[in-house]
Amino acid sequence: MDQRERVVTGVSACAYLAVAVAIAAFVPDERDVAPIVVLGLLLGYALILQVRFEFGGYYASPEQLAFIPLLLLAPLPYVPLLFAAAGVLAAVPDIARNSWHRHRWLDTFSDSWAALGGVIVLAALAPGDLNSAHFAIYLAAFAAHFLTDVTWTLLRNRMLDRLPLTEVLRGFAGTARVDAILTPLAFVVSLAAVEQPLYLLAIAPVVWLLHLFSHDRRERYSKTLELHRAYRGTVMLLSDVIESEDTYTAQHSRSVVDLVNEVADELGVAPDDRQELEFAAMLHDVGKIAIPKEILNKPAALTATEFEVMKTHTIEGQFMLDRVGGLLGRVGEIVRSCHERWDGTGYPDGLKGEEIPYAARIVFCCDAYNAMTSDRVYREAMPSEEALAELELNSGTQFDPKMVAAVKKVVSERRVVVSTSEGVRAVLAGAPLPREISASTAS
């Protein structure tokens, strides 16, 4: 933990502990529960928190299968303390394996606020034994639980993570769906367990099944991650080949990657589509490896015959990437279309308008701007203002008007930094992993 996180986590943990102790001291206990049942609920909760599966970019646990019985059957004043204690017990194996830092046990207290909403509602309206006649009150308690959970999630994000609000809510909504699915099952089992606590064991097969699914999902995810890393390695290798063959093309491609990323931000390109877009930007000229150097580096305008040869670089690029297949095969389709024009007069297929892949339209416009503002062997770089004017002049004929508007806005309002070779390699090598969130916000 950094200093800020230590302070926020420590203060939150102390505050929660104080509130939990106050509830234990002042809320009357109106439930007659055997100690062995309480111990079973505590240990069962800790075991269930060990079942984790990747869901929507986060790790989730089926904790509702344990929290609902704990909330409805355990001594109500002690539920907040038992909730936090279960989290601490669940963290022990992770700390012992060194997969969590030893100070992370504080997170279990800090992130336990979700338990309070349901406890407060039940303490005020239905503090006694579970009774189906209080169904509406239990619904209100579950709603209060979710409300407390999302409130703490948003507060923690504002104080520490500072992720975009939409990303936080999307992650919470994903894990909340799991909660919503499991809550009815846990409630029905809890009703049956009022008379016979052994009915709580009916949850075990469901937990075991989820454990098997999570294990299989984790293995599949690991293999997918390895495959993506292999793709990135291939892209970096091709980048090195381009650089060894033609320094200008390599530098140009790296600059296009920078501009494409900025334009993609401006256009709101979905995260799932960014990888193919970045790869296409980096490799859009990879087919020039197959073009004779006397044509590629000619210090004058190309003849008609030479230009026909040059035009084949998009097809050659697709051919190279098709041989790799998979993700890079799809990137090859974008590379093939990176010189198609909005009015249908481009090459190699004469695609028109929205027939052209969206990513190819972005790369084409960024490629053109960067080419105009770069020094070439046969001309000097064009000033940015003139290049933007040229894009505007050809908007709707050569370029997609939306892409022209986005490039103009990015160039006019932002500073586009040209990456070094190592900088781009670092971007391509990065493999984002799902964030692991605490048991209180993952379900």
Query: Which pLDDT score is estimated for 196?
Result: 92
| Whether the predicted pLDDT of 17 surpasses 80 | yes
- Average of per-residue pLDDT values in the chain: 84
Query: What is the pLDDT averaged over residues 233-246?
Result: 64
Query: Which pLDDT score is estimated for 113?
Result: 92
Give the whole-number percent of the chain exceeding pLDDT 90: 47
pLDDT band, residue 242 (cuts 50/70/90): low
Secondary-structure percent of the chain, ordered helix, strand, coil, rounded to 5? 75, 5, 25
Query: Which pLDDT score is estimated for 202?
Result: 93
Distance CA(396)–CA(393), nearest Å, equals 9
Q: 391, exposed or middle or buried, with CB in 10 Å at 0-12, 13-18, 19+?
A: buried
| Whether the predicted pLDDT of 191 surpasses 50 | yes
Helix (H) or strand (E) holding 192: helix 165-193
Dihedrals phi, psi of 59, to nearest 5 degrees = -100, 130
From-to residues of CATH 1.10.1760 in the chain: 3-195
Please tell me the CATH code under which domain 226-429 is placed.
1.10.3210.10
Strand order in the sheet with 58-60: 53-55, 58-60, 435-436
pLDDT tens for 303-317 read: 889 889 999 999 999
Distance CA(435)–CA(172), nearest Å, equals 12
Query: What is the pLDDT averaged over residues 264-269?
Result: 91
Asked whether 191 and 132 are in contact (CB, 8 A), the reply is: yes
| Whether the predicted pLDDT of 134 surpasses 90 | yes
Query: Which pLDDT score is estimated for 98?
Result: 85
Query: Which pLDDT score is estimated for 57?
Result: 58
pLDDT tens for 379-434 read: 677 888 999 999 999 999 999 999 999 999 999 886 454 443 344 444 444 444 33
Concatenate the DSSP letters of all residues of 54-112 into one string: EETTEEE--THHHHHHHHHHS-GGGHHHHHHHHHHHHHHHHHHTTSS-GGGHHHHHHT-
Supply the angle between the helices 247-267 and 203-245 in degrees, to the nearest 10: 140
Query: Which pLDDT score is estimated for 285?
Result: 83
Q: Which CATH code of 1.20.120, 3.40.50, 1.10.1760, 1.10.10 fits the domain covering 3-195?
A: 1.10.1760
Give the number of other CB atoms < 10 A from CB of residue 426.
12
Query: What is the pLDDT averaged over residues 32-54?
Result: 91
Query: What is the pLDDT averaged over residues 72-92?
Result: 94
Query: Which pLDDT score is estimated for 137?
Result: 96
Give the number of other CB atoms < 10 A from CB of residue 188.
13
Residue 359 vs residue 432, higher pLDDT: 359
Q: Say which amino acid occupies 112.
A: S
| Whether the predicted pLDDT of 439 surpasses 50 | no
Query: Which pLDDT score is estimated for 243?
Result: 57
Q: Of 143, 198, 197, 142, whose CA–CA distance to 31 is shortest?
A: 197
pLDDT band, residue 252 (cuts 50/70/90): low
Distance CA(314)–CA(350), nearest Å, equals 13
Supply the pTM of this predicted model. 0.62
From-to residues of CATH 1.10.3210.10 in the chain: 226-429
Nearby residues of 327 by Cβ (< 8 Å), 6 or more positions away: 227, 228, 231, 275, 276, 279
Residue 230 vs residue 342, higher pLDDT: 342
Q: Of 424, 412, 389, 317, whose CA–CA distance to 360 is shortest?
A: 317
Distance CA(110)–CA(417), nearest Å, equals 40
Tokens of 431: 């493999």
Asked whether 401 and 267 are in contact (CB, 8 A), the reply is: no
